[in-house]
A and B are shown apart, each in its own frame.
Chain A
Amino acid sequence: MSQHDHGAQPVILPPQEAWGVIKSLLNPVTYLKFAKEHPILSLIFLVGVVVTVNRFLIGGLAGTTNLDDNNPWGIWISFDLLCGVALAAGGYTTTAGALIFNIKGLRTAVKPAILTAFLGYAFVVYALLYDVGQPWRLPYPVFWSQGTSSVLFEVGLCVMLYVTVLMIEWLPNFTDWVGMQKISHVIHKCTIALTIMGIVLSTMHQSSLGMLYLIAPHKMHPLWYSAHLPLQFFVSSMVAGMSMVIFEGTISHHYMHSRMSPEYNRDHDGVLFAFAKACSIILFGYFFMKWVPIAGENKWGYIFDGKYGLMWLIEMFGFIAIPCFLYAVGYRSRSTGTIKAAATISVLGIVFNRFNVSWFGFNIHLRPEQQYFPSVQEVIVSVFVVTLIILCFRFISKYMAIFSDHPSYSKGHH
Chain B
Amino acid sequence: MEFHVYHDQMVYSKAAAYILMAVALACSVVWWKFLTGKEPKKNDDH
Contact = CB atoms under 8 A, between A and B. Distances in A.
Interface of A: 105, 218, 221-222, 270, 273, 277, 280-281, 284-285, 288, 291-293, 295-298, 328, 331-333, 364-365
A222 B37 CA distance: 38
Interface band, chain B = 20 to 34
A288 B46 contact: no
Interface of B: 1, 3, 5, 9-10, 12-14, 16-17, 19-21, 23-24, 27-28, 31, 34-35, 37-39, 45-46
Contacts, number: 57
B20 A222 contact: no
Contacts of B27: 284, 288
The 5 closest A-B pairs by CB, nearest first: A296-B17, A288-B24, A295-B16, A298-B13, A295-B17
A284 B1 contact: no
Contacts of A281: 35
16 contacts: A105-B46, A221-B1, A222-B3, A270-B46, A280-B35, A284-B27, A288-B21, A288-B27, A292-B20, A295-B16, A296-B17, A297-B13, A328-B31, A328-B34, A332-B35, A332-B37
Nearest to A269: B46
B35 A291 contact: no
- Residue among A105, A284, A288, A295 with the highest chain B CB neighbour number at 10 A: A295
Contacts of A293: 17
Contacts of B39: 332
A333 B38 contact: yes
Given A105-B46, A270-B46, A332-B37, A222 B1 contact: yes
Nearest to B40: A334
Contact of A284 (B9, B14, B21, B31): B31
Nearest to B34: A328
Contacts of A222: 1, 3
A328 B34 CA distance: 8
B17 A364 contact: no
Contacts of B9: 298
A364 B35 CA distance: 40
B15 to A, nearest CB: 9
- Residue among B16, B35, B37 with the highest chain A CB neighbour number at 10 A: B35
Contacts of B3: 222, 298
Nearest to A332: B38
Contacts of A297: 13
Given A273-B46, A298-B13, A332-B34, 7 more contacts: A291-B24, A295-B16, A298-B5, A298-B9, A298-B12, A298-B16, A332-B35
Contacts of B28: 284-285
